[in-house]
A = this chain, B = another copy of it.
Amino acid sequence: MAVAHRVVVVGGGFGGLQAVAGLRRAAVDVTLVDRNNFHLFQPLTYQVATGALSPGEIAYPLRAIFTRDRNINVLMAEVADFDLAAHEVKLVGHDPLPYETLVVAGGSTYAYFGHDEWREHAAEVKSLESALVVRSRLLAAFEEAEEEMDEERRAALLTFVVVGAGPTGVEMAGQIGELANDTLAHDFRRIDPRSARILLVEAADRVLTSFPPSLSTKAKHSLERLGVTVLTGRTVTNVEADAVTVDDERIPSHTVVWAAGVTASSLASKLAASTGAEQDRAGRITVEPDLTLPSHPEVFALGDMVRLRETTLPGVAPVAMQQGRYAARVVRDRLAGRETPPFRYRDKGNLATIGRAAAVADIKGLRLSGFLAWVTWLTVHLFYLVGFQNRVLVFIRWSVSFLTHGRGARLITKR
């Protein structure tokens, strides 16, 4: 019996998961490599960061997703490098993985504008672990403020700065607004959480630049109603343990959430180094119209870490998912000796939520805001959540939160 065609997929995010799922019934052996044992529904990590959802509700074990697919193997490991000449993925602490086809979907991370020393003081809403750090810091700031006798320090503890007004930054600022003005409003005896100052700092001249300007304006108004001060056209120039400097104004604050400077995963640089493929300013590697690397038709790269030569697509889940499905289709077509037309992104719309019954949606030119956009957002996110059980759990959490203004999972856990 001949050895089956081996496909290695790196990354169990939206793109990688779809690539693997598309090969379920193909005559290939698939190995999915991820440093975590779970798929994270990243668009909802900010809800974990504010205690609205529990980690297990937005993450699902990768092995459980593919438990019935005997041709799919899951490996929890970190990629050290690629040896494209030898057709091998080098792993940390494991034997190299040989492949006939490689799919790399490493996603993106946040960059600190060349100031990596800021990273130590800022928190992020990217991985599950980082979201739990944000949750603990946010909640601990209120706890400390309640006990703080010094007025200035108390004000600094109750000042929250979110950097970057893309969807994550906007959602995060809106959620902190709800936390302070609604969920926690009556929980303290000495401080009034509603006095918290929540700043959203954005270098561009409006929030949500990937949306039409009219929706940016609506989003800004929704944020302001939630008690968020929106500072556009302003740049963060320093981050310290107890302050953030915006342009040349030093703002005392103990909690900075960083949601700016999206940069391709370091896997992009590793692929670029061995292929000579171009990288743009955000580190994204340029791929061919069929998502393969130049002169490496057996290597696909997709999602947040790539750009197509002709167009730049937004770094959102639907792009990665469609690209993952496309890569799987090319692999199947090749095995069948069929040609595949170049990848084409079908833009189904753009959604961002701000808070309770407030969202914006841009669906093929149809611009929604407010309650209707929010219901659309809820439906779409529930639909795409992996696992029937998670959908039900999240739906219940959200329903109860909506009715009771509660936020059940606001636990401070130690590291």
Which residues of A are at the interface with B, using a C-beta cutoff of 8 A? 36-38, 51, 53-57, 59-61, 63-64, 67-68, 70, 73-77, 94, 128-129, 132, 139-140, 143, 146-147, 184, 186-189, 387-390, 392-393, 396-397, 400, 404, 406, 408-415
Minimal beta-carbon separation of A140 from chain B (angstroms) = 8
Instruction: Evaluate contact between B411 and A128: CB separation under 8 angstroms.
Output: yes
Interchain residue pairs with CB less than 8 A apart (27): A36-B411, A37-B143, A38-B412, A51-B56, A54-B57, A55-B55, A55-B411, A56-B56, A56-B57, A56-B408, A59-B409, A59-B411, A60-B408, A61-B408, A61-B410, A64-B408, A68-B186, A76-B140, A77-B147, A128-B413, A129-B414, A387-B408, A388-B400, A389-B396, A393-B396, A396-B396, A415-B415
Q: A129-B414, A393-B396 are in contact. Are A56 and B59 (CB under 8 A)?
A: no
Query: In whole angstroms, how far apart are the Cα atoms of A54 and B60 in the complex?
Result: 12
Work out how many copies of this chain go into the complex: 2
Minimal beta-carbon separation of A180 from chain B (angstroms) = 14
Closest to A72 in B: B189
Main secondary structure of the interface of A (DSSP, over half): mixed
The 10 A-B residue pairs with the shortest CB-CB distance in the complex, in nearest-first order: A54-B56, A56-B409, A63-B187, A54-B54, A389-B400, A37-B412, A76-B143, A73-B189, A67-B186, A38-B411
Minimal beta-carbon separation of A6 from chain B (angstroms) = 13
Q: A63-B187, A73-B189, A187-B67 are in contact. Are A389 and B408 (CB under 8 A)?
A: yes
Instruction: Evaluate contact between B94 and A147: CB separation under 8 angstroms.
Output: yes
A76 neighbours in B (Cβ, 8 Å): 140, 143, 412
Query: In whole angstroms, how far apart are the Cα atoms of A409 and B394 in the complex?
Result: 13
Q: A56-B53, A189-B70, A392-B396 are in contact. Are A139 and B415 (CB under 8 A)?
A: no
Instruction: Evaluate contact between B393 and A61: CB separation under 8 angstroms.
Output: no
CB < 8 Å: which of B73, B128, B406 contacts A389? B406
Instruction: Evaluate contact between B396 and A400: CB separation under 8 angstroms.
Output: no
Q: A143-B76, A393-B396 are in contact. Are A55 and B410 (CB under 8 A)?
A: no
Query: In whole angstroms, how far apart are the Cα atoms of A188 and B76 in the complex?
Result: 12
A67 neighbours in B (Cβ, 8 Å): 186-187
Closest to A190 in B: B73
Query: In whole angstroms, how far apart are the Cα atoms of A67 and B415 in the complex?
Result: 27
Instruction: Evaluate contact between A389 and B397: CB separation under 8 angstroms.
Output: yes
Minimal beta-carbon separation of A65 from chain B (angstroms) = 10
Query: In whole angstroms, how far apart are the Cα atoms of A259 and B182 in the complex?
Result: 41
A37 neighbours in B (Cβ, 8 Å): 139, 143, 410-412
A140 neighbours in B (Cβ, 8 Å): 76
A415 neighbours in B (Cβ, 8 Å): 415
CB < 8 Å: which of B53, B139, B143, B408 contacts A390? B408
Minimal beta-carbon separation of A24 from chain B (angstroms) = 15
Query: In whole angstroms, how far apart are the Cα atoms of A51 and B37 in the complex?
Result: 12
Query: In whole angstroms, how far apart are the Cα atoms of A387 and B409 in the complex?
Result: 11
Instruction: Evaluate contact between A411 and B61: CB separation under 8 angstroms.
Output: yes
Closest to A48 in B: B56
